[in-house]
Amino acid sequence: MELTGAQILIRCLQEEGVDTIFGYPGGRVLNIYDEIFKSNIGHILTRHEQGAVHAADAYARVTGRPGVCITTSGPGATNAVTGIATAHMDSVPLIVFTGQVGLTSLGRDSFQEADITGITLPITKHSYLVKDTKDLARIIKEAFYIATTGRPGPVVIDVPSDITVNKARFDYPKTVNLRGYRVLKKVNLLQINQAANVINESYRPVLYVGGGAIISGITDEILALAEKVKIPVTTTLMGLGAFPETHRLSLGMLGMHGTHYANYAICECDCLIAVGARFDDRVTGKIETFAPKARVVHIDIDAAEIGKNVRVDVPIVGDARTVLIELLARVNADTGERAEWLDRVEQWKQEYPLHYTQDGENVKPQHVIEQIYEVTRGEAIITTEVGQNQMWAAQYYKFSQPRTMVTSGGLGTMGFGLPAAIGAQIGQPDKIVFGISGDGSFQMNSQEMATAVAYNLPVKVAILNNGYLGMVRQWQQLFYGGRYSQTDLLGVSPDFVKLAEAYGAVGIRVERPEEVRPALEKALSIPGPVLLDFVVDREENVFPMVPPGGSLDDMLGGCMD
């Protein structure tokens, strides 16, 4: 039977088991939207295409299933660009359908035409411009396969409007045939033996775990490896939740705003095992002085990540799950040879804990995060914006489950948190979703409050409102002589409580430390979206901090007085 391209598109999504599309309609996707109307696939209408992509991204991050979103051509597609780049940097599987002008109008600067495959070339894993309705099903099949296998990433499918009208026989392919794209199944056992030797010979090992561990779903294996060999574990921002931070071997996060003890451990370790992490500059600081005493084992599915930023002694390309299972069988259980190292790590933990001082009557942002952790018993999904709010969330919420920290790590996208909270809540309807936000970031996509209200999503958003673009202000204070250029928002932001109410949500303002807990409890008791405006200490800084270009053991602040 012949179907229209729009019908084929929907049938393909059904074949892939897609239950929710995030999107925003427009002229060039009317046929697709007509089929969505007739189908049983859920659709979440955001208030901006960027919100749709971030929501689909967060849906993917919390479920492990690919996010699907759809925009119209031209501005609809270009509005999706930041969302696509965000997903690309954090290796999130995403299928982005963009409308396009008809095939005969292509390249003529037609109304609402933009070369979106060209624009997104460097920020997608792959992209397609559909030229024939006959190819549509194959392309969608390939797109899902590419997006979700190997190192995941976003795939853009640009669909000219006549493709959605034209008819073709519908036959959903069972397999894909991509000669240039192979997913690595095997691992090199010689390399794994070598890694096991390096680990067995180590006295001061550290596991450095990134987002790849969460994608691979290997938290059990990491725990097993850490406990068997007695290896302290530090995670990147993207790796938060891959290892329980309540565990005695946990070092928390490393890097620019990592803990003292994680960074000291990196500087002193004799063996560093990187799992699904990419030695980002925010992690390594000055690259020449990163883990200077260590033999480095690097496990990654993406061969291009190995040796990209640092010299590696034992490279292992492969799926982290397969690698860790093989590795676990080859490493020796610790028989006390690392006791001295563990003592030393413990001493650092005692000496240099994450720390802030509750002075005066002001609400401390760190206190808000700690209280959110307590009222949610550490079981919430946390989404963040970018900046101080993100770093405090990373530092003070003790993540213990994978896929519970949803944050824009690589691209650092302000405006991510609120739409991400929406997507996360839709992906995990039974979980508590808490968005941690700043007064600056929140305003970058605050229109999505309307989406949260429209679908009556119980998301809670906590704005840590310091009236500044806080992280930039912090840099200006520390490195630019206190010249707060264009970072002061005091008095020029909306009344967030009234804003929430205008959208039909509940707004709560908190100005005193003792009000924090009751406000959070009240928010949780409300079944719909709640916006909490925490008026916090204006000039609180995120510490510790490795100054840009500094070594990891060269941290500012955060010590006990």
Partner 1 sequence: MRHVLAVTVHNYPGVLNRVAGLFSRRGYNIESLNVGTTDNPQFSRMTIVVDGEPEVIEQVCKQLHKLVDVIKVSDITHEPAVNRDLVLFKVTAEPAVRGEIMQICEVFRLRIVDFGRRSLIIEATGEKNKLDAIEDALRPFGILEMVRTGQVSMVRGRK
Minimum CB separation of residue 307 from partner 1 in Å reads 7
Minimum CB separation of residue 371 from partner 1 in Å reads 44
* Whether the Cβ atoms of residue 456 and residue 480 lie closer than 8 Å to each other: no
When binding is defined by CB under 8 A, the residue of 125, 295, 349, 431 that contacts partner 1 is 125
**Binding of partner 1 at residue 292 (CB under 8 A)?**
no
Cα–Cα nearest to 544, from 407, 354, 403, 298: 354
Q: Which stretch binds partner 1 (CB under 8 A): 39-47, 51-59, 178-186, 228-236?
A: 178-186
Task: State which amino acid sits at residue 376.
Answer: T
**Binding of partner 1 at residue 185 (CB under 8 A)?**
no
Cβ proximity to partner 1, 180 vs 482, nearer residue: 180
Name beta bridge partners: 507. Answer: 531
Minimum CB separation of residue 46 from partner 1 in Å reads 29
Cβ proximity to partner 1, 301 vs 520, nearer residue: 301
Q: Which stretch binds partner 1 (CB under 8 A): 299-307, 336-344, 354-362, 425-433?
A: 299-307
C-alpha–C-alpha distance, residues 96 and 22, integer Å: 10
Residue 517 CA from chain centroid, whole number: 27
Q: Which stretch binds partner 1 (CB under 8 A): 44-52, 88-96, 121-129, 204-212?
A: 121-129
Cβ proximity to partner 1, 186 vs 377, nearer residue: 186
Length of the chain as a residue count: 561
When binding is defined by CB under 8 A, the residue of 118, 292, 527, 549 that contacts partner 1 is 118
C-alpha–C-alpha distance, residues 55 and 424, integer Å: 7
When binding is defined by CB under 8 A, the residue of 43, 47, 181, 553 that contacts partner 1 is 181
**Binding of partner 1 at residue 36 (CB under 8 A)?**
no
Minimum CB separation of residue 303 from partner 1 in Å reads 5
Q: Which helix (H) or strand (E) is 273 found in, with range?
A: strand 271-275
What track of x and - describes contact with partner 1 for positions 67 through 106 (by CB under 8 A)? ----------------------------------------
Cβ proximity to partner 1, 180 vs 336, nearer residue: 180
When binding is defined by CB under 8 A, the residue of 165, 189, 304, 502 that contacts partner 1 is 304
Cβ proximity to partner 1, 312 vs 391, nearer residue: 312
**Binding of partner 1 at residue 117 (CB under 8 A)?**
yes
**Binding of partner 1 at residue 302 (CB under 8 A)?**
yes
When binding is defined by CB under 8 A, the residue of 17, 180, 481, 491 that contacts partner 1 is 180
Q: Which stretch binds partner 1 (CB under 8 A): 177-185, 356-364, 382-390, 496-504?
A: 177-185
- For residue 529, cis peptide bond before it (omega within 30 degrees of 0): no
When binding is defined by CB under 8 A, the residue of 89, 146, 372, 449 that contacts partner 1 is 146
**Binding of partner 1 at residue 308 (CB under 8 A)?**
yes
Cβ proximity to partner 1, 132 vs 220, nearer residue: 132
Residue 561 CA from chain centroid, whole number: 34
3 state DSSP class of 197: helix
**Binding of partner 1 at residue 122 (CB under 8 A)?**
yes
3 state DSSP class of 545: strand
How many CA atoms does the CB half-sphere of 528 hold within 13 Å?
15
Cβ proximity to partner 1, 180 vs 481, nearer residue: 180
Cβ proximity to partner 1, 124 vs 474, nearer residue: 124
**Binding of partner 1 at residue 17 (CB under 8 A)?**
no
Query: Scanning residues 519 to 548, which ones bind partner 1 (CB under 8 A)?
Result: none
**Binding of partner 1 at residue 307 (CB under 8 A)?**
yes
Question: What burial letters (b/e) apply to 351-372, b meaning 16+ CB within 10 Å?
Answer: ebebebeeeeebbbbbbbbbbb
HEC per residue, 73-133 = CCHHHHHCHHHHHHHHHCCCCEEEEEEECCHHHCCCCCCCCCCHHHHCHHHCCEEEECCCH
**Binding of partner 1 at residue 327 (CB under 8 A)?**
no
Q: Which helix (H) or strand (E) is 426 found in, with range?
A: helix 417-427
Cβ proximity to partner 1, 119 vs 251, nearer residue: 119
Name beta bridge partners: 97. Answer: 70, 157
When binding is defined by CB under 8 A, the residue of 129, 323, 469, 500 that contacts partner 1 is 129
Cα–Cα nearest to 160, from 105, 108, 231, 111: 105
DSSP secondary structure letters along 14-75:
HHTT--EEEE---GGGHHHHHHHHHSS-EEEE-SSHHHHHHHHHHHHHHHSSPEEEEE-STH
C-alpha–C-alpha distance, residues 394 and 237, integer Å: 7
When binding is defined by CB under 8 A, the residue of 17, 108, 177, 179 that contacts partner 1 is 179
Minimum CB separation of residue 181 from partner 1 in Å reads 5
Cβ proximity to partner 1, 138 vs 230, nearer residue: 138
* Whether the Cβ atoms of residue 372 and residue 434 lie closer than 8 Å to each other: yes
Over its C-alpha atoms, the chain yields an Rg (Å, rounded) of: 24
C-alpha–C-alpha distance, residues 333 and 348, integer Å: 24
Minimum CB separation of residue 135 from partner 1 in Å reads 11
When binding is defined by CB under 8 A, the residue of 165, 183, 190, 303 that contacts partner 1 is 303
Minimum CB separation of residue 121 from partner 1 in Å reads 5
How many CA atoms does the CB half-sphere of 460 hold within 13 Å?
25
Name beta bridge partners: 460. Answer: 434, 530
**Binding stretches for partner 1 (CB under 8 A):** 117-118, 121-122, 125-126, 129, 146, 178-181, 302-304, 307-308
